[in-house]
Structure 1
């Protein structure tokens, strides 16, 4: 049988190193689906429940593996469904290629059924490269460019393939004017600043008496160098949320997360430092950085657009984090005065006591902080983690003490709901021998997560190690937004908006052939975690947690306190529980500091 355009596309992706495609079928991609069937010995097609899942999985694939993630969707509605997951990849600088179908070439422009202007639709999210194929001879360079640009720029690209074109015989471009003969392959360059700029940066860092380091996802391959630099400079290390698992929390100078989700240790370090050293991060919440003029600044980033964006640094170093740190380190002088480091370590130790104390507070029925605290002590070696967006993100950021070897992620720049389950599924496909845990709120589970459980039930037997746990924080509340209404707007909880139906996540899991467990009382937490982490098939934990436990920021501003108090006097339906739990957590913080 002659090779079709569809066959060529699948083979070309394989030649680029792609071994897995996440997608959902439709008549706009029938030619590509037939090609995938014929290439099933070399390309693994993962059938998702929804195209949004496909894009999330492609993004998760890129985050956990470092490879290009590829998703596939049909024309019209299928392509539209990809957008949220693709924006997730775009905002977190992840290399993802979307292959989407389109109506037949002859019908484009006629308002045909499911015809959408896909070039315009994807122009923002895939602005670095979005093209539609119109002839077989064009397809080669479209796939090559989409893959190369995604790899080189760590971005989203898109190739649109009309359905009739997919089934045509593949053609080699003719040897004539106007043809392109593209090739495969890309290698990242060594990007290191000049020695002169490195020396300028070293002078600033060496002069600093109180150096604070803030790292982000750009340190993925540079953890050892960050730790070495921190030891030389006597600095503490705070982490933007995407770097949560990149530097272990059991190092005594790691202050943990920063921002609204962050720790008091990180906030105190940023308030008191005289030098800020940012590495691989574009952390957006500048109110949690030193006040302008109070600290000198040095930044390293591979993206020049991120340099000097959040803080007016004296030295902005355009370079790869690992290579730049290696070049910078010989110029750094080890701080003899370790009083700043000692101060940071004492603050970190105090913070972990606060976290434990808050976790042990009674709640109705279960304190969500304790669910995470008890997991922290039981995290398996080389575990893979995902978290969703919601109040549970606070507990992921603060209560889990990450040890070396763990990897994890969530939706950072977009902060979208529903990424937690598809991320962990993609992680299991990338590393089927590693244990995995997803931490998801009940809002995200009802929106899309329960569909992902069907995908888990379909594929888990393929995984070498089937250990996968999905923790559902079941509090019947869209909790993060509820707290934002109180603290940011001064409004009480709007029950018609925030209350969500009860759902038996554990029983639903059982109906799919998975294990379903329930945490109903504090006494259930430890035995349920231990049973789940020993299970030989995927587990869903239905954890009945208290929505009134406050996700306290590291420092409460007068404006936040004023609006929070105002919300309680405007008919807050949960006023008694909210006041009770807030007082407990504030008291726990005060007692530990004393």
Structure 2
């Protein structure tokens, strides 16, 4: 039998180095599914939902640097991909979506499941979306989709009508109007011009109190960042997507920044006279220096992302590692280390504050302590994923990432439901490494419970069985509840915020995994040891107190006013909230010896 368009599609993907496709079947991709049955080089991972396939493809891209590929049928299957694809687009990850479509002869006839997919995907795949209309067009469609996804670090989409999928593949003819593309892409070396590097060095050398902020674009530049931080005598704050850029054990790392950030990061930003941002588009300007307080230098590979968060004096377009390497010889070591020493003192005190907050009693269990006790037990090669919710606060603050670890979450989209599929994508990419997902009960009920079935289906293929899903069971959509109180001044609305008390650990047991449930602090250490030594994937259910506040590093007068208003309006949890808030604030103001 001659190769079909679908056969050639899969062949071409393997030429680009693709070895795994995440997806869900449907008759709109029957031709491709048939070809997968004939292909021995590509593994098809069956997810429980197309959105999960897109999340897993995004995770593959984040943790490997290579394009992730997801597959969906026409109509509803294609629509389901969108949230996961937007997650990849907003976090600048190369993901290729392959989507089926109704037969080309029926398009425009209001046929069942006919959706205008070119319009549907034209935003999320704005750099490249195409519908294959001829058997020979599949070659350049795949080549351009992979090349553009890598070159622009973005989402691309190839739409293939059902009848085209099953037609015999035809090589492009040697005549006018045909396209003859090829496989291959080489990463460029992008460095700013010498004169701009010198301008940047002049700004940084003149500063007496320099602050650094790094993000995911600085991954791989650890040595250069450490050297720059030493020369400039600065501390380094990390945007959430950049949590794994530097180990938290370094004495000058101030930790996360923003609402989920640390006091040392806040103090550094409010006290600096110069700001150096590297590989980050951190969006919350209120946590950066006030406009005009500091001179600014920013490094980003994407020139479109420069000088949009803070008025930068020298915006440098370039690769973070290469640009820092070129900048280092131009920097002068600051002899006055007073600024650096004050930052390091604040960092040491902050870790003591966090420990004190984690050890505060709660009813029945303090969520901070769950993370605090996990932190020193983390395997050195662990991959961490976090969902969006109150669990993100403790992931950001209480876990100390060490050299060699990887970590990620949904950054700019901040979507719920990505934690477990991210972890699955990471595990398929690195089956020999332990993976831990940290999610709230809302995200677990939204997507995580279903994807435990995927884990149960595939885990025996993984070389290392260690795969842990930490679920914070607080029976509340906790992050939104706190946002209602602090940002809007409204009490908790039970109708929207209360969640069913689902038995996550017992559910894990029922699908062939291991369930561990903890509701007392003295159980934590042994439970974590049990989970980390298990011979099968684990759901670690922590039954925690929803009244423990995710206190921001700095509480504004407006936030305090809103919080007070929410309490006066009759929040049902007022008593517990006030007790836990007072405990947390007392830890911040408690005198400590350095």
Q: What TM-score does the superposition give when structure 2 sets the normalisation length?
A: 0.99
Q: Distance in 2 between matches of 1:353 and 1:567?
A: 30
Q: Distance in 2 between matches of 1:307 and 1:264?
A: 26
Maintained 8 Å contact 1:144/1:182: yes
1:327-350 alpha-carbon deviations (Å, 9 max, x no partner): 110111111111111011001001
Maintained 8 Å contact 1:350/1:592: no
Name the structure 2 match of 1:499: 498
Q: Distance in 2 between matches of 1:438 and 1:22?
A: 19
Q: Distance in 2 between matches of 1:307 and 1:542?
A: 42
Q: Distance in 2 between matches of 1:490 and 1:368?
A: 24
Aligned length: 593
Maintained 8 Å contact 1:96/1:157: yes
Question: Match of 2:460, SS?
Answer: helix
Name the structure 1 match of 2:545: 546
Q: Distance in 2 between matches of 1:407 and 1:59?
A: 15
Q: Distance in 2 between matches of 1:74 and 1:358?
A: 49
What does 1:78-477 correspond to in 2, within 5 Å? Answer: 78-477=77-476
Mind listing any 5+ residue stretches in structure 2 that lack a counterpart? none
Are 1:479 and 2:478 an aligned pair?
yes
1:548-584 alpha-carbon deviations (Å, 9 max, x no partner): 0000000000000000001001110101011110000
Q: Distance in 2 between matches of 1:160 and 1:64?
A: 26
Q: Distance in 2 between matches of 1:261 and 1:181?
A: 50
Distance verdict in 2 for CA 1:106–1:188, change over 3 Å: same
Q: Distance in 1 between matches of 2:192 and 2:90?
A: 25
1:2-55 alpha-carbon deviations (Å, 9 max, x no partner): 10000000000100110100000000000001111111x211111101000000
1:434-460 alpha-carbon deviations (Å, 9 max, x no partner): 111000000000011001100001111
Name the structure 1 match of 2:14: 14
Maintained 8 Å contact 2:214/2:245: no
Deviation at 1:592, TM superposition (A): 4.3
Q: What TM-score does the superposition give when structure 1 sets the normalisation length?
A: 0.99
Deviation at 1:176, TM superposition (A): 1.0
RMSD: 0.7
1:482-504 alpha-carbon deviations (Å, 9 max, x no partner): 00000001000000100010111
Deviation at 1:588, TM superposition (A): 1.0
Name segments (4+ residues, structure 1) moved above 4 Å: none
1:489-545 alpha-carbon deviations (Å, 9 max, x no partner): 100000010001011110110011110000111111111111001111100011101
Maintained 8 Å contact 2:219/2:244: no
Maintained 8 Å contact 1:388/1:441: yes
Name the structure 2 match of 1:580: 579
Q: Distance in 2 between matches of 1:593 and 1:494?
A: 39
Name the structure 1 match of 2:487: 488
Q: Distance in 2 between matches of 1:439 and 1:593?
A: 31
Q: Distance in 2 between matches of 1:523 and 1:221?
A: 38
Q: Distance in 1 between matches of 2:10 and 2:592?
A: 60
Name the structure 2 match of 1:3: 3
Q: Distance in 2 between matches of 1:165 and 1:209?
A: 64
Q: Distance in 2 between matches of 1:257 and 1:507?
A: 34
Deviation at 1:292, TM superposition (A): 1.0
Distance verdict in 2 for CA 1:592–1:397, change over 3 Å: farther
Q: Distance in 1 between matches of 2:235 and 2:149?
A: 34
Deviation at 1:593, TM superposition (A): 5.3
Name the structure 2 match of 1:32: 32
Q: Distance in 1 between matches of 2:327 and 2:592?
A: 37
1:452-471 alpha-carbon deviations (Å, 9 max, x no partner): 10000111110110101100
Are 1:48 and 2:47 an aligned pair?
yes
Deviation at 1:91, TM superposition (A): 0.5
Name the structure 2 match of 1:525: 524
Mind listing any 5+ residue stretches in structure 1 that lack a counterpart? none
